Every structure is written in C-alpha cells, then in structure tokens.
Structure 1
Amino acid sequence: MSTIHYFDANNSSMGSLGNLEKTINLQHLLETSLPERTPQWIADFLENIDECNLQLAEPEVAAANDGYAYMNVKTVDPETNFKAFVIRQSLKTILANGFGLVVNAHKEQPDWVFSHGDLLNLYLNDEFYTDESIFSEHGKDFVLPKDEKVLIGQPSEQILPKETRQHIREFLSYSGIRDAKVMLMVRNPENEDLVSQDLVFNITPKMFATQEAYIQVMNTLAWFLPRHYSIVGIDESSVDSGFDSI
C-alpha cells in the first residue's frame, strides 16, 4: 500500500466506544485460521465487525494494489487503551471520502477487505451484502427486445446517493468521459415474478482504445456500488429518454 491521504482523526465520530460484546466476539473469531473460516464464520464476522471497537492503523488511508483507496484499521485487545474507531459511527465520513476499508492489512493476508460499495450497502440497507433484490442477476447478457415494456427514470437517493454520484462523476471525468449519464431501467414492471431493474450508464466499449480499458472502468463503477447492483453500459442513442448527468 502507498499513503495518499490521512483520515480526519479529530472527526466527532471518532473516539466513541462501540459494542464491547461484539469486540470480544471478533477477537475470538480471528483466532480461527484462514483455511478454517466457514460460511458460518463469515456470517458471524459480518455480524460483529460493524459495531465493534477497532483502531486506525498506519497509514490511516492508503492506496492498495488494486488502485483503490482504503481506510486501514486493525483489531485491538479490549483490555488496552486506544482511540476507538467504529465502522457504523464513521460511515458518513468514509463514504464522503470515497474510501473502502481493510481490516488488519499488516497481516500476510488481511482478515477482510470492504469495497466502497460494501460500506455504502451497509449505510443504505443495514447489511454489507444483499443476496436478494430486484436488480437483475449477474452474469446474464443484457438484451432489450424492442417490444419489451420498460420504465426509465433517475435512481433515487436510496439507490445512488449524491455523494456516490460525485465519486463516480469524478472518476469518469478522470477516465476521459466528460458527459457521463445514468438512468434506472425497470423491466417487466407489471409482472411481480419477472420485474427487474438495472443501473444503466451511457458508456460503451467504443469509447475506449481497448476492451480491457472498458472493463476496467466498469469494474471501478462496481467497486463504488453495492455488489448486488446490476450495472449496464449502453449507447445513449439506443433509448429515447431517461439518461441524465451523473
């Protein structure tokens, strides 16, 4: 990791103690070796990590090998004196800065890495990961028949908050996309069994020198957003209306 920015340790959300029981639970969980961490271990980890007492490590914020910026926190012995960092108490500040979060980066392999979108999902939906939603399933080709009925409009704050829009807008501008637009497309809105939605951007492979460059941009959009979101790029001219500036 390389240092790019220091977190505001004087923020008013810092220093408030979290849940001591969850802090102790987390300590016990981390005694389990990596190969022995089962799906139940993961569920227990995610249940406790959000409100337990953590501590900012050095550097407080760093760029990881994937190119994204992460806050760097470590677990602590509940019996020691330290300035507490609690994920839930600091969510607004983390999200405002566009960070992810890594737990115990000093180890040979970190105990967990949260993308910005994972933390955004905790803020929006009270969980790091959402298994079931109205968003389209990942891995399916996006095909829009001409006679299919769809509703299009702008995603609400509950789906795409203004700060997330800003992070995405700045990233796309840095990537050379000056007029980035977005819309929410709801397919089969009158059928409860088939209804689905997609977050659609006016970004297509022809905007980039290589397919790899396009994929990298779409992967970064995914990093900023909850993992269950379906993200699609289509030519702006292929729809009559609905797109608006990010």
Structure 2
Amino acid sequence: MSTIHFFDANKSSSGSLGNLEKTINLQHLLEIPLRSRNQKWVADFLDNIDECNLQLAEPEVAVANDSFAYMNARTVDPETNFKAFVIRNELDRILSNGFGLVINAHKDQPDWIFSHGDLLNLKLRNEFYTDDSAFSEHGKDFVLPKDEKVLVGQPSEEILPAQTRTHIREFLAYSGMNNGKVMLIARNYDDDSTMTQDLIFNITPKMLATQDAYVQVMNTISWFLPRHYSIAGVDELSVESGFEQI
C-alpha cells in the first residue's frame, strides 16, 4: 500500500468505546488460522466487527494495489490503552471521505477488506452484505429489448445516496467523463415477486480507449456500491428518457 495523509485520526475519531464483549469475541476469532475459517467464522466475524474496539494503524489511510483508498484499522488487546476506533461510530466519516476499510493490513494477509460499498450497505441496510434483493442476478448479460416494458426512474436516496452520487460523479470526471448520468429500471414491475431492478449508467466501451478501460471504470463504480447491486452501461441515445445527471 502507498500512504496518503488526509485523515487525521486525532481529530476525527470519536474516541468512544465499543462493545467489550464483541472486542473479546473478535480477538478469539482472529486466533483461528486462515485455513480453518469457515462460513460460521465469517458470520461470527461480521456479527462482531462493526461494534468492537479497533485502533487506527499507521498509516491511517493507504492506497492499496487495487488503487482504492482504505482506512487502516487493526485489532487491539483489550488490556492495553488505546484510542478506540469503532466502525459504527466512524461510519459516516468513512463514507463521506469515500474510503474502504482494511482490518490488520500489517499481516501477511489482511483479516478482512471492506469496499466502500460494503460500508455503505451497513449504513443503508444494517448489514455488510445482502443476499436477497430486487436487483438482478450478477453474471448475466444485460439486454434491454426495445419492445420490453420497463419502469424507468431515478434511484432513491435509500439506493443511491447523494454522497455516493458525488463520489461516482467525481471519479467519472477524473476519468474524463463529465456528463455521467444514471437511471434505475425495473422489469416485471407488475408483480413484486418477479420484479427485478438495475442501475444503468450512460457509459459504454466506445467512450473509452479500450475494453479493459471500460471494465475498470465499471468495476470502480461497483466498488462504491453494495455488492448485491447490478449495474450496466447503456448508450444514452438508445433510450428515450430516464437518464439524469449523477
């Protein structure tokens, strides 16, 4: 990781203590070797990490190999003196800065890495990861037939908060796209049991130099969003209406 210094731990941390029981639970969980960490371990880890006492490490924020900025937190011994860093208490500040969060980056392999979207999902849905939602399944090719009836509108604040829009808009502008637009489409909207939705951006491969560059742009947008969201890029001229500025 490379270091950046625009997060002042002394000024920003609330310093209020988290849940001591969860801190001890987490300590025991991290004593389990990586090879022995199963799905139950993952569930227990996620149940405890958000309210336990952590500590900001040095550097407080670093840019990882994936080019995203992460706050750098590490676990602590409950018997030592430290300034507490509790994810729940610092969540708004982390999100406002557009960061992700890494746990114990000083190890050969970090114990966990949260994308910005994982933390956003904690804010929006009170969980890091959502399994069941109205969003389309990942991995399927996105096709929007002209004769298909779809409901088109703008994603609500509960789906795409203004702050997240800002982060994505600034990223797109940095990438040379100053006219980023978005819309939300719903299919099969007459039946709640079969309705699916997708976030659509006016970004297509022809707007970038290479297909790889396009994939990187879409992957970066995804990093800012909860993992269960399905996103796609569509030529703005191919739809009659629905797109609005991000």
TM tier relative to shorter chain:
over 0.9
Partners in 1 of 2:226 and 2:154 — Cα distance? Answer: 17
Partners in 2 of 1:5 and 1:243 — Cα distance? Answer: 36
Q: Which residue of 1 aligns with 2:77?
A: 77
Partners in 2 of 1:181 and 1:12 — Cα distance? Answer: 33
Q: Which residue of 2 aligns with 1:105?
A: 105
Q: Assess if the C-alpha contact under 8 Å between 1:73 and 1:103 holds in 2.
A: yes
* AA of the residue aligned to 1:56: L
- Other structure's SS at 1:85 match: coil
Q: Which residue of 2 aligns with 1:216?
A: 216
Partners in 2 of 1:30 and 1:10 — Cα distance? Answer: 27
Superposition RMSD in Å: 1.0
Q: Assess if the C-alpha contact under 8 Å between 1:16 and 1:84 holds in 2.
A: yes
Q: Which residue of 2 aligns with 1:56?
A: 56
Q: Assess if the C-alpha contact under 8 Å between 1:148 and 1:188 holds in 2.
A: no
Distance apart, 1:9 and its partner CA: 2.1
Partners in 2 of 1:130 and 1:50 — Cα distance? Answer: 16
Q: Assess if the C-alpha contact under 8 Å between 2:183 and 2:242 holds in 1.
A: yes
Distance apart, 1:149 and its partner CA: 1.4
* AA of the residue aligned to 1:98: G
Distance apart, 1:193 and its partner CA: 2.9
TM-score, normalised by the number of residues in structure 1: 0.98
Q: Which residue of 1 aligns with 2:238?
A: 238
Partners in 2 of 1:19 and 1:152 — Cα distance? Answer: 43
Distance apart, 1:11 and its partner CA: 4.3
User: What does residue range 1-246 of structure 1 map to in structure 2 within 5 Å?
Assistant: 1-11=1-11, 13-246=13-246
Partners in 2 of 1:232 and 1:245 — Cα distance? Answer: 16
Q: Aligned residue pairs: how many?
A: 246
* AA of the residue aligned to 1:149: K
Distance apart, 1:192 and its partner CA: 2.4
Q: Assess if the C-alpha contact under 8 Å between 2:181 and 2:201 holds in 1.
A: yes
Partners in 1 of 2:131 and 2:198 — Cα distance? Answer: 16
* AA of the residue aligned to 2:55: Q
* AA of the residue aligned to 1:204: T
User: Which residues of structure 1 form unaligned runs of 5+?
Assistant: none
User: Which residues of structure 2 form unaligned runs of 5+?
Assistant: none
Partners in 1 of 2:188 and 2:60 — Cα distance? Answer: 46
Q: Assess if the C-alpha contact under 8 Å between 2:180 and 2:245 holds in 1.
A: yes
Deviations 1:75-100 (A, max 9, x none): 00011110000001000000000000
TM-score, normalised by the number of residues in structure 2: 0.98
Distance apart, 1:194 and its partner CA: 2.0
Partners in 1 of 2:193 and 2:163 — Cα distance? Answer: 33
Q: Percent identity?
A: 75
- Other structure's SS at 2:9 match: coil
Q: Assess if the C-alpha contact under 8 Å between 2:4 and 2:63 holds in 1.
A: yes
- Other structure's SS at 1:129 match: coil
Distance apart, 1:144 and its partner CA: 1.7
Partners in 2 of 1:192 and 1:140 — Cα distance? Answer: 21
Distance apart, 1:47 and its partner CA: 0.3
Deviations 1:158-205 (A, max 9, x none): 111111111100100011111000011111100223210000000000
* AA of the residue aligned to 1:103: I
Distance apart, 1:216 and its partner CA: 0.3
Distance apart, 1:13 and its partner CA: 4.8
Distance apart, 1:12 and its partner CA: 6.0
